[in-house]
Structure 1
């Protein structure tokens, strides 16, 4: 029986709700699990030309089987300026270590950027992509 990671509606909602609209400045794709502030919230300084994505780990596979955190391997963030062609990719390792993830993508040009996330398990199986979310970067 082929096991496939389920992207639950709750996971999609957590990702969709988690796109933080970071303001202004640039840099490079930078780390996950940024500085933690009060209430265990990840805090990033205001940065231009960036999007901060937050999401929760999936809890089950498509067939309904529970997926233990230890079986998660990495997250793959796909993004681009065309929702039909997400031509940039960031791989976030260590998926098994955190149930709640945050990652900042910077160096985004002006325009609307679209993002989706997939999770890969320790056997190399990929989930379906999350719902696409977007952020407008102003010049």
Structure 2
């Protein structure tokens, strides 16, 4: 029952402890390197970063690093806030949608989240049971 909160909170803790992640430097460097090597990757679509993101935030400028700092803070906040919101019936659908959006990049060749929700509505109760530990 506590696996999902433990995973999210441990991830947030590791990110909080990492100065490189908190400052946005890790994400800025990742995008910068990705832009340089994307054509050499075997599975290009697995970590596909839109050209707009690469061109406007992949140059390692102070502005780019500040922007990625904001993204890092948002990720940490989401990982801390998501587990409790999954347990509250009123916020659970929003938390599931946020979780799907957060993990969209881990689903290579998967449709956008709104297609996932529309195409597979039977999976949501199962996902909720897996996340909350109810009825497993």
* TM-score between the two structures when normalised by the length of structure 1: 0.23
Higher strand proportion (structure 1 or 2): 1
Higher helix proportion (structure 1 or 2): 2
* TM-score between the two structures when normalised by the length of structure 2: 0.23
